[in-house]
Amino acid sequence: AASDVYKRQEDSLMNIKEAKEQIKNAMTAYFTKDGFGGYAIPIEKQRPVFLMGPPGIGKTAIMEQIASELGVGLISYSMTHHTRQSALGLPFIVQKNYGGREYDVSEYTMSEIIASVYDMMEETGLREGILFLDEINCVSETLAPSMLQFLQYKIFGRHRVPDGWIVVTAGNPPEYNNSVREFDIVTWDRLKRIDVEPDFGVWKEYAYLSNVHPAIISYLDVKHSDFYKIESTVDGKSFVTARGWSDLSDMIKLYEKHGLKVDNALVSQYLQNKKIARDFAVYYDLYMKYKSDYQIGEILSGKASEEIKRRAKAAKFDERLALLSLILDGVNEGMRAVANEEDMLSALLACLKEVRAGLSNSAADAVKLLGEKASAVRAKIEKGKASSSLSAEKRHTLNLTAAALEEEAALIERNDRPSGTAAFALMKKDFDSRVAALKKNAEAAGKKLSNAFAFLEEVFGEGQELLILVTELTINAHSSRFISRYGCKEYFAHNKELLFYERRKELIEELGDLNFD
Q: DSSP for 290-332, please give it.
A: HHHHHTHHHHHTT---HHHHHHHHH--HHHHHHHHHHHHHHHH
Helices and strands (H, E) in the chain, number of each type = 22, 11
Q: Judge whether 133 and 89 are in contact, CB under 8 Å.
A: no
Rounded to the nearest angstrom, the gap between the alpha carbon of residue 199 and the centroid of all alpha carbons in its chain is: 16
**pLDDT for position 511:** 41
Q: Judge whether 391 and 308 are in contact, CB under 8 Å.
A: no
**pLDDT for position 290:** 94
| 3-class DSSP assignment, residue 465 | helix
Longest dimension (CA), the chain: 101
Integer-rounded Cα radius of gyration of the chain:
28
* Dihedral pair phi/psi, residue 275, rounded to 5°: -65, -45
**pLDDT for position 108:** 63
Rounded to the nearest angstrom, the gap between the alpha carbon of residue 255 and the centroid of all alpha carbons in its chain is: 22
Work out whether strand 101-108 and strand 91-98 pair parallel, antiparallel, or are unpaired. antiparallel
Q: Judge whether 31 and 164 are in contact, CB under 8 Å.
A: yes
The answer to whether the pTM exceeds 0.75 is: yes
**pLDDT for position 190:** 83
Q: How far apart are CA 52 and CA 196, in angstroms?
A: 6
**pLDDT for position 313:** 93
Q: Judge whether 103 and 96 are in contact, CB under 8 Å.
A: yes
Q: DSSP for 28-48, please give it.
A: HHHH-B-TTSSBSS-GGG-PP
pLDDT, tens digit, for every residue of 134-170?
A: 888 777 676 777 777 787 778 877 788 888 899 998 9
Buried b (16+ CB within 10 A) or exposed e, 131-140: bbbbbbbbbe
3-state secondary structure 485-501: HHCCHHHHHCCCCCCHH
Residues 6+ apart with CB under 8 A from 494: 453, 466, 467, 469, 470
155 - beta bridge partners? Answer: 160
Q: DSSP for 206-260, please give it.
A: HHHHTT--HHHHHHHHH-GGGSSEEEEETTEEEEE-HHHHHHHHHHHHHHHHTT-
Work out whether strand 101-108 and strand 49-52 pair parallel, antiparallel, or are unpaired. unpaired
Measured in Å, how far apart are the chain's first and last C-alpha atoms? 70
Question: To 10 degrees, what angle do helices 366-387 and 392-414 make?
Answer: 160
| 3-class DSSP assignment, residue 450 | helix
**pLDDT for position 85:** 65
Q: How far apart are CA 184 and CA 4, in angstroms?
A: 10
**pLDDT for position 155:** 82
pLDDT in tens, the chain (517 residues): 344 444 545 557 899 999 999 999 998 999 899 888 888 988 878 889 999 888 888 888 899 889 988 889 999 888 776 666 666 666 678 788 888 888 877 666 667 888 888 999 988 888 899 999 888 877 767 677 777 778 777 887 778 888 889 999 898 887 776 666 777 787 788 889 999 999 999 999 999 988 999 999 999 998 999 999 988 777 778 999 999 999 999 999 999 999 999 999 999 999 999 999 999 999 999 999 999 999 999 999 999 999 999 999 999 988 999 999 999 999 999 999 999 999 999 999 999 999 988 888 766 788 999 999 999 999 999 988 887 778 888 899 999 999 999 999 999 999 988 888 889 899 999 999 999 999 999 999 999 999 999 999 999 988 888 888 998 999 999 999 999 999 999 998 887 644 444 443 333 344 444 454 5
Question: To 10 degrees, what angle do helices 464-475 and 420-460 make?
Answer: 150
Which letter does DSSP use for residue 1 in this model? -
**pLDDT for position 106:** 67
Q: How many CB atoms lie within 10 A of CB 30?
A: 22
Identity of the residue numbered 61: A
From the number of C-beta atoms within 10 Å of its C-beta (0-12, 13-18, 19+), residue 492 rates as middle
Between CA 153 and CA 160, with CA 159 as vertex, the angle to 5 degrees is: 40
Residue closest to 407 by CA, chosen among 357, 456, 379, 373: 373
From the number of C-beta atoms within 10 Å of its C-beta (0-12, 13-18, 19+), residue 502 rates as exposed
Q: Judge whether 369 and 423 are in contact, CB under 8 Å.
A: no
Rounded to the nearest 10 degrees, how much is the dihedral formed by the CA atoms of 435, 437, 443, 446?
-90
Could you give the C-alpha distances from 356 to 142, 167, 256, 359, 412, in angstroms and in order? 61, 43, 44, 5, 14
Question: To 10 degrees, what angle do helices 477-486 and 464-475 make?
Answer: 90
Q: Judge whether 130 and 67 are in contact, CB under 8 Å.
A: yes
